[in-house]
Amino acid sequence: MEHIILNMNKQIYDERENNGALQLVAVDLHKSYRKGKLTVPVLKGVNLGVREGEMLAIVGQSGSGKSTLLHLLGTLDSPDSGSIHFDGQRIDSLSGGQRDLLRNQFIGMVFQFYHLIPELTTIENVLAPIMIRESVWGYLSKRHQYRKKASELLDRVGLSHRIRHKPNELSGGEMQRAAIARALISDPQILLADEPTGNLDLNSAREVLQLLRELNHEKKVTVVMVTHDLSIAQQADRVIRLIDGCVMR
Ligand code: ADP
Ligand code: MG
């Protein structure tokens, strides 16, 4: 046991030593799913340190637990054991409400299938996290300011001509760029992206990746992206592999 803890601390220490402060740290994460009487272990002791401001890619084959790990990092789900720390504070043990708040203010999430609300226009989708966070009165009193910010973000992701379109009137690349604008509306410190280019043609995938890269530089937002595609992953500052439930470097 002592050996495991020492080794685990060393792995995280190595990451800290190379460059900058660690913003998001996962320590010895375990996660299994139950299928009937069977327990399927997916994460078997994942240790990971994400540096502030870096763009990190996590690769692994389909079914290797990439989405599971990203959901844990984003507090969408809880590990069976282990812990997750954001800016030095433990986050996996927060209450549901506190986790919602954390996600809404500090962590932006982007998914393979965009998860836009079909009834809402592009700009309304981008504003949705703020509408959820603020009271009706709070939102209404600042709505010009918020709409301005959403328009600027949509402009930044190249969608100023699609502000009033509904998701079904957008291409895949456009939907993903709208989802990225939505993830950025609350000025998150970190963006967690699950196969953000997984459903896109080659050109749209390149554009989305380029956009993430630029936003990482411009807004100093940390990016953690999971992908099964090595050519996509290689655009990041650092690539780590998820193999057999553990992180290989
Ligand atoms: P990846 O994103 O790398 O493709 P996932 O994290 O989605 O992998 O899944 C890892 C493994 O966990 C797979 O075998 C998958 O079938 C299983 N799994 C994922 N989510 C669930 C769930 N909610 N219930 C049961 N099994 C799941
Ligand atoms: Mg996945």
pLDDT tens track for 165-180: 999 999 999 999 999 9
Distances (CA, A) of 86 to 142, 146, 179, 197, 243: 29, 27, 23, 26, 24
Could you tell me if the CB of 138 is within 6 A of ligand 1?
no
Predicted confidence at residue 136, as pLDDT, reads 84
User: What percent of the chain has a predicted confidence (pLDDT) above 70?
Assistant: 92
d(CA 47, CA 23): 14
The alpha carbon of 112 and the centre of ligand 2 are apart by a number of angstroms equal to 8
**pTM of the complete model:** 0.91
Q: What is the mean pLDDT of residues 237-244?
A: 95
The alpha carbon of 229 and the centre of ligand 2 are apart by a number of angstroms equal to 12
User: Which of 129 and 2 is assigned the larger pLDDT?
Assistant: 129
Local confidence band at 138 (pLDDT 50, 70, 90 cut-offs): confident
Predicted confidence at residue 2, as pLDDT, reads 42
pLDDT tens track for 4-13: 444 555 555 4
| Residue 80 CB-density burial (10 A; 0-12 exposed, 13-18 middle, 19+ buried) | middle
Mutate to test the pocket of ligand 1, among 37, 39, 67 (most ligand atoms within 8 A of CB): 67
Judged by its nearest atom, the ligand closest to the C-alpha of residue 62 is: 1
Local confidence band at 157 (pLDDT 50, 70, 90 cut-offs): very high
The alpha carbon of 19 and the centre of ligand 2 are apart by a number of angstroms equal to 28
| H or E stretch covering 26 | strand 22-35
pLDDT tens track for 38-78: 999 999 999 999 999 999 999 999 999 999 999 999 999 99
d(CA 27, CA 48): 7
User: What percent of the chain has a predicted confidence (pLDDT) above 90?
Assistant: 86
Predicted confidence at residue 18, as pLDDT, reads 52
User: Which of 135 and 196 is assigned the larger pLDDT?
Assistant: 196
Local confidence band at 249 (pLDDT 50, 70, 90 cut-offs): confident
Predicted confidence at residue 5, as pLDDT, reads 44
Could you tell me if the CB of 75 is within 6 A of ligand 1?
no
Nearest CA to ligand 1 atom 23: 33
Q: What is the mean pLDDT of residues 202-222?
A: 95
pLDDT tens track for 81-102: 999 999 999 999 999 999 999 9
Going by C-alpha positions, the residue among 107, 65, 56 that lies closest to residue 223 is 56
The dihedrals phi and psi of 183, each to the nearest 5 degrees, come to: -65, -20
Helix (H, G, I), strand (E, B) or coil at 198: coil
Q: Which amino acid is at 127?
A: L
